[in-house]
């Protein structure tokens, strides 16, 4: 089986998972973290090199304050507790998103983990946090505009490769496979530039129930796809 080098996942359905059990939404998020741990381990095991997980979108800032707080607390705990997971499996931890919106002390913790794991290359784990693809693209456009203004680069030199190098995912291959759990057929402002030729896989399974069997199913389905890239 052909294992994608880069898998991206829109981890959706935590709220519905909790609701179905009469639990508060936050319990769904907590169970979602358990699924994250399992999937990270599975990806290491099968040899995926880049995993990008959509954990919190720019639009998610509009959720109730207590839910936002609980989500960031879960993330903080995940980083604190999974130190061993990162080091034992040589996982490079990387945050993609608008860092300046993240609470200072949580951000410092995350950036320390990035530093501690920067030399690992078994799996790059990108956590999309306070992330929006349009903002990411705008940001890249602004950086390049500034470089042109400062005569660091000529306008005609700007190509796809240079543009990509200004995105949060710089230096990483585009995902071959994008998975979305809980059935929604939309991208919700995720990786718009990077997914131009990515294969989509949508499952009805809610994120807290997503496991290595489900991951396997997605990869099997991906292997059946005929990727033509417009070429024939
Ligand atoms: C995904 O689950 C997690 C985040 C967006 C943070 P949701 O919280 O969106 O769960 P549903 O979609 O309401 O079921
Ligand atoms: C997408 O899920 C964002 C994350 C999984 C972090 P949402 O639940 O926020 O997306 P919509 O509202 O269904 O588009
Ligand atoms: Mg949702």
Look up residue 178 and give its two tokens. 């994008």
pTM of the model: 0.98
Compute the Cα dihedral for 28, 80, 51, 93 and give only its sign: positive
Residue at 138 is within a domain: no
Residue at 188 is within a domain: yes
Domain that holds residue 84: 6-132+174-224
Look up residue 209 and give its two tokens. 């129930």
Look up residue 182 and give its two tokens. 């809980």
Residue at 76 is within a domain: yes
Q: Is residue 210 predicted with pLDDT exceeding 90?
A: yes
Residue at 139 is within a domain: no
Residue at 158 is within a domain: no
Query: CA 40, CA 50: separation in Å to the nearest integer?
Result: 10
Residues 6 or more apart in contact with residue 230 via CB below 8 angstroms: none
| Spacing, Cα 65 to ligand 3 middle (Å) | 16
Residue at 140 is within a domain: no
Residue at 151 is within a domain: no
Catalytic residue chosen out of the listed positions 2, 12, 14, 119: 12
pLDDT band at 40 (very low <50, low <70, confident <90, very high): very high
112 is catalytic: no
Percentage above 70 pLDDT, the chain: 100
Q: Whose CA is nearest to atom 1 of ligand 1?
A: 12
- Share the mean pLDDT of the chain: 98
Residue at 231 is within a domain: no
What CATH number is associated with residue 70?
3.40.1180.10
12 is catalytic: yes
How many structural domains does the chain have? 1
Q: Is residue 232 predicted with pLDDT exceeding 90?
A: no
With a Cβ cut-off of 6 Å, ligand 2 is lined by 10-12, 54-57, 60, 184, 186, 188
């Amino acid at each position: 089986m052909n294992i994608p080098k880069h898998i991206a996942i829109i981890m959706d359905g935590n709220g519905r998972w909790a609701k179905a059990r009469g639990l508060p939404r936050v319990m769904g998020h907590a169970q979602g973290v358990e699924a994250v741990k399992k999937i990270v381990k599975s990806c290491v095991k099968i040899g995926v090199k880049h995993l990008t997980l959509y954990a919190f979108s720019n639009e998610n800032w509009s959720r109730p304050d207590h839910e936002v707080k609980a989500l960031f607390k879960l993330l903080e705990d995940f980083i604190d507790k999974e130190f061993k997971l990162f080091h034992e499996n040589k996982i490079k931890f990387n945050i993609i998103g608008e860092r300046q919106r993240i609470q200072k002390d949580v951000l410092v913790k995350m950036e320390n983990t990035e530093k501690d794991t920067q030399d690992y290359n078994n799996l790059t784990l990108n956590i999309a946090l306070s992330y929006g693809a349009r903002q990411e693209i705008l940001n890249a456009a602004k950086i390049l505009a500034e470089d042109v203004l400062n005569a660091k680069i000529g306008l005609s030199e700007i190509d796809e490769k240079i543009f990509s190098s200004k995105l949060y995912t710089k230096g990483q291959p585009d995902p071959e496979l994008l998975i979305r759990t809980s059935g929604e057929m939309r991208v919700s402002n995720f990786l718009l530039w990077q997914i131009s030729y990515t294969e989509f896989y949508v499952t009805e399974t809610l994120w807290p129930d997503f496991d290595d069997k489900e991951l396997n199913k997605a990869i099997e389905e991906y292997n059946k796809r005929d990727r033509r890239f417009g070429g024939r």
